[in-house]
């Protein structure tokens, strides 16, 4: 398990200094609203969620991974964890 920190979030910004929709969807923060980072700092997440957020910083909106993440956003929490784990093992 991993605890989200401000430093970790900062380390995984896009090259343009922001965050992708795919990253926001991982933590159900998209569309981004004021205070979204403050709401997730301190949360304990799985290794799969951590790796998904880190790799999503480089995902383009038309990338296959982004499409999968958009689909995952519509699932319940247990379904999301299973799908994220499968994606991380198969990319």
Domain boundaries, the chain: 2-90
Torsion of Cα atoms, 75 then 85 then 46 then 70, to 10°? -40
pTM exceeds cut of 0.75? no
Q: Tell me the pLDDT tens digit for each residue of 14-57.
A: 888 899 998 999 999 999 999 999 999 999 999 989 999 998 88
H-type alpha helices, the chain: 6-11, 21-26, 36-40, 47-56, 64-72, 77-90
Q: Tell me the pLDDT tens digit for each residue of 60-85.
A: 545 666 667 777 777 888 887 887 78
> How many residues does the structure list for the chain?
91
């Amino acid at each position: 398990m991993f605890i989200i920190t401000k430093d970790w979030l900062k380390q995984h910004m896009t090259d343009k200094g922001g965050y992708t929709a795919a990253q926001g969807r991982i933590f159900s923060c998209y569309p981004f609203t004021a205070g979204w980072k403050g709401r997730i700092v301190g949360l304990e997440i799985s290794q799969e969620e951590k790796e998904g957020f880190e790799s999503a910083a480089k995902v383009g909106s038309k990338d296959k991974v982004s499409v999968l993440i958009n689909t995952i956003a519509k699932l319940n929490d247990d379904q999301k964890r299973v799908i994220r784990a499968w994606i991380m093992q198969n990319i």
